[in-house]
């Protein structure tokens, strides 16, 4: 609409403070001014309803340790945390983080023959909202975060989309521990490891062999990024 009227928008957020001032000062022909005014009133109404529902959600989850713990994960704020807590529900249904990622449809399809193993696209068989929430949470994570660095490493080898999905799967592992333990030890300052399930038995052949075998090399079951 503004482009059709020849109005240049210099700011990145047209609906922020500066953008709102610009919209209020526009001197447009009556049909265009009426249309923009109508759209702004609709947006104001939607903003009111969104804020109202968000307030209800915050009130419902206030004091819930799971809600607070999930928000400690970089990239996850109040809205995504509420989605994850509500959609996942009772975390005790899952004994390992891998079970949660599988339930959410974030694990790749696995085909194995006599001599070949092929991993395809993710199954997408679980909760669409959980998949959306964790993938959305890692889209713009900086490379100063564990998951952000992991996303960029995978993306460098296999492309941006695969990197983001892999990072979303890693993010959901963190969510598992946040919901179960109300704390993610892998995110502690100075810790460069990701959590693994504490239920996997350690290998008698040592940590390196256990890690290569996909087993738990440590009592708390972590393996390096």
In this structure, are 48 and 73 located in the same domain?
Answer: no
pLDDT per residue as tens digits for the range 187-197? 887 665 555 54
Q: Is the pTM above the cut of 0.85?
A: no
In a shared domain, residues 71 and 52: no
Residue 220 and residue 130 share a domain: no
Rounded to an integer, what distance in angstroms lies between the CA atom of residue 43 and that of residue 20? 12
User: What's residue 200's pLDDT?
Assistant: 43
Query: Can you list the alpha helix ranges (DSSP code H) found in 93-189?
Result: 97-103, 128-138, 146-158, 160-181
* pLDDT (mean) for 5-18: 85
Rounded to whole angstroms, what are the CA distances from 103 to 90, 211, 220?
Answer: 13, 23, 23
Rounded alpha-carbon distances, angstroms, from residue 132 to 87, 171, 204 = 11, 12, 39
Domain encompassing residue 210:
200-225
In angstroms, rounded to a whole number, what is the distance separating the alpha carbons of residues 53 and 62?
14
- Same-domain pairing of 105 and 171: yes
Q: Residue with structure tokens 């504490």? A: 198
Do both 81 and 183 map to the same domain?
A: yes
CA distances from 98 to 22, 60, 106, 156, 182 (A): 50, 29, 10, 24, 18
Task: Evaluate whether residue 4 is within a structural domain.
Answer: no
- Identify whether residues 55 and 86 lie together within a single domain: no
Once rounded to an integer, what is the mean pLDDT over residues 77-92?
A: 94
Q: 38-81 pLDDT, tens per residue?
A: 999 999 999 999 999 989 998 999 999 999 999 999 999 999 99
Q: Specify burial of residue 88 (Cβ count, 10 A radius: 0-12, 13-18, 19+).
A: buried
Q: H-helix or E-strand containing 108?
A: strand 108-112
């Amino acid at each position: 609409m503004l482009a059709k009227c020849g109005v240049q928008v210099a700011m990145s957020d047209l609906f922020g403070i500066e953008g709102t001032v610009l919209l209020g000062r526009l001197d447009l022909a009556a049909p265009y001014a009426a249309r923009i005014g109508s759209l702004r009133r609709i947006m104001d109404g939607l903003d009111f309803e969104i804020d109202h529902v968000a307030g209800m959600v915050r009130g419902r989850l206030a004091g819930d340790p799971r809600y607070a713990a999930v928000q400690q994960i970089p990239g996850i704020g109040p809205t995504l945390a509420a989605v994850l807590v509500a959609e996942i529900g009772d975390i005790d249904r899952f004994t390992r983080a891998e079970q949660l990622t599988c339930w959410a449809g974030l694990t790749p399809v696995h085909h194995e023959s006599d001599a070949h193993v092929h991993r395809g696209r993710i199954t997408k068989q679980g909760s669409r909202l959980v998949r959306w929430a964790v993938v959305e949470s890692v889209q713009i994570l900086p490379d100063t975060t564990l998951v952000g660095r992991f996303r960029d490493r995978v993306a460098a080898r296999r492309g941006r989309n695969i990197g983001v999905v892999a990072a979303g799967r890693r993010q959901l592992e963190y969510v598992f521990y946040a919901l179960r333990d109300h704390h993610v030890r892998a995110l502690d300052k100075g810790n460069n490891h990701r959590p693994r399930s504490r239920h996997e038995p350690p290998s008698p052949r040592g940590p390196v062999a256990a890690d290569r075998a996909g087993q738990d090399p440590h009592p708390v079951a972590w393996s390096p990024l």
